[in-house]
């Protein structure tokens, strides 16, 4: 009965998301597009970083890489092909980075990814200055509604993909590494390979999301697409929602991205101050996130 109710609820939400572009204006549709983007980024961050407990701060690097490759190849190829190519290249790049950095303990990885987007944006700036001459790139744009459906489809696919991958051998290996890496190695888990693979999968999703963002913005340059905010938001959103469940990060991303969109509209550019205060206060009060509170309450009821 409970299962039926929750699946009915999910179907209702899905229907609402399908018809909402016709009910809402362009502005709200664009906002939903952005929220979906953040959900994808947060869940793919969560997929690798919470299972293995290796904190990555490199989301912006992969978003930017995907966006840049999409911008480069959308004229010779078609737009969807360019986005997919962006995903493939981010997959390969992330796999290579993983092979090098994930052999080491967590802090090295965190520090490396922290500067990665700055590094890529500088490298691309330098390249374009010397060899291309111009810095920004114009991308053929599509209308908001088409993009909305593309992003919705990608969101559902990636959620399904992550959920299923967690059940396969890859997901099990990642979880085992997160629980106790030494034990996992002793049990014969090829830890470097699986960590790199998990990192590459999560980065690929980020890259595709970046490609879609590039199409949405119609113009990109390294300073815009390698925005450090993309790196910081996913861990914050996932932590606020609670990393122990699958729905926590989704919830956190929805709440926080709509909140920051609202605040940025109300307070213009100073909303980041409030955003910072919110991060500190909320994390300080509940380090386990919102979903942990819910599970605690459920457990409490069960005891009664």
Q: With CB under 8 A as the contact rule, which of the stretches 24-32, 80-88, 181-189, 283-291 interacts with another protein?
A: 283-291
CB of 155 to another protein, least distance (A): 24
CA distances from 189 to 95, 183, 284 (A): 17, 9, 35
**Binder to another protein among 90, 151, 196, 239 (CB under 8 A)?**
239
Contact between 170 and another protein (CB under 8 A)? no
Q: Which of 107, 138, 218, 293 binds another protein (CB under 8 A)?
A: 107
Would you call 54 helix, strand, or coil by DSSP?
Answer: coil
Q: Shortest gap between Cβ of 290 and another protein (angstroms)?
A: 15
Choose the stretch contacting another protein; rule: CB under 8 A; options: 32-40, 81-89, 110-118, 211-219: 110-118
Q: Rounded to the nearest whole angstrom, what is the least distance from the CB of residue 242 to another protein in the complex?
A: 13
Contacts of 132 (CB under 8 A, 6+ apart): none
Q: Which of 25, 80, 115, 140 binds another protein (CB under 8 A)?
A: 115
Kindly tell me which of 107 and 265 has the beta carbon lying closer to another protein.
107
Burial class of residue 175 in the structure, from the number of CB atoms within 10 Å of its CB (0-12 exposed, 13-18 middle, 19+ buried): middle
For 151, the token pair is 């992003």
Cβ(206)–Cβ(90) below 8 Å: yes
Give the dihedral sign, CA 166/169/170/176: positive
Does residue 24 bind another protein (CB under 8 A)? no
Listed in sequence order, the DSSP H helices in the chain are 2-23, 26-52, 59-73, 79-101, 106-127, 144-167, 169-179, 181-186, 191-217, 222-225, 228-241, 247-267, 271-285, 290-303
**Residue 236 touches another protein, criterion: CB under 8 A:** yes
Q: Is 105 left (phi over 0), alpha (psi -120 to 50) or beta?
A: beta
CB 198 → another protein: shortest distance, Å? 17
Structure tokens at 37: 């983007």
Stretch in the footprint of another protein (CB under 8 A) among 16-24, 26-34, 101-109, 207-215: 101-109
* 200 token code pair: 């590459």
* Cα Dmax for the chain: 70
Q: Which of 153, 187, 277, 296 binds another protein (CB under 8 A)?
A: 277
53 binds another protein (CB under 8 A): yes
| Cα gap 98→157, rounded to integer Å | 24
Per CB under 8 A, which region of 11-19, 27-35, 83-91, 275-283 contacts another protein? 275-283
Residue 251: alpha-carbon gap to chain centroid: 13
* 18 three-class SS: helix
Least separation in angstroms between residue 132's CB and another protein is 14
Binding mask 54-73 for another protein (x = CB under 8 A): -x------------------
Q: According to CB under 8 A, which one of 15, 81, 119, 179 is a site residue for another protein?
A: 119
Binding site for another protein (CB under 8 A): 53, 55, 100-101, 103-104, 107-108, 110-112, 114-116, 118-119, 122-123, 125-126, 129-130, 228, 232, 235-236, 239, 269-270, 272-273, 275-280, 283-284, 287
């Amino acid at each position: 009965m409970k299962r039926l109710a929750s699946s009915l609820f999910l179907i209702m939400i899905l229907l609402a998301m399908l018809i909402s572009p016709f009910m809402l204006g362009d502005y709200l549709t664009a906002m939903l597009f952005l929220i979906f983007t953040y959900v994808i980024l947060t869940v793919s961050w969560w997929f690798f970083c919470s299972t293995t407990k290796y904190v990555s701060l490199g989301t912006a690097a992969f978003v930017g890489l995907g966006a840049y490759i999409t911008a480069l190849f959308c004229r010779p190829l078609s737009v969807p092909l360019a986005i997919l190519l962006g995903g493939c290249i981010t997959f390969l790049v992330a796999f290579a980075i993983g092979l090098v950095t994930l052999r080491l303990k967590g802090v090295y990885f965190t520090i490396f990814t922290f500067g990665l987007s700055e590094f890529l944006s500088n490298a691309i700036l330098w390249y374009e200055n010397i060899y291309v001459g111009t810095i920004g790139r114009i991308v053929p744009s599509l209308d908001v509604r088409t993009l909305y459906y593309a992003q919705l489809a990608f969101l559902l696919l990636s959620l399904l993909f992550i959920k299923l991958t967690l059940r396969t051998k890859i997901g099990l290996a990642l979880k085992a590494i997160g629980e106790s890496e030494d034990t996992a190695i002793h049990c014969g888990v090829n830890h470097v390979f699986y960590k790199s693979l998990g990192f590459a999968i999560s980065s690929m999703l980020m890259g595709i999301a970046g490609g879609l963002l590039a199409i949405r913005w119609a113009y990109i340059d390294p300073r815009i697409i390698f925005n450090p905010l993309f790196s910081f938001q996913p861990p914050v959103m996932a932590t606020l929602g609670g990393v122990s469940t699958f729905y926590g990060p989704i919830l956190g991303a929805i709440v926080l991205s709509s909140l920051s969109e609202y605040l940025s509209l109300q307070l213009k550019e100073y909303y980041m101050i409030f955003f910072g205060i919110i991060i500190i206060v909320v994390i300080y009060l509940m380090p386990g996130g919102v979903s942990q509170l819910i599970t605690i309450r459920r457990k409490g009821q069960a005891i009664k």
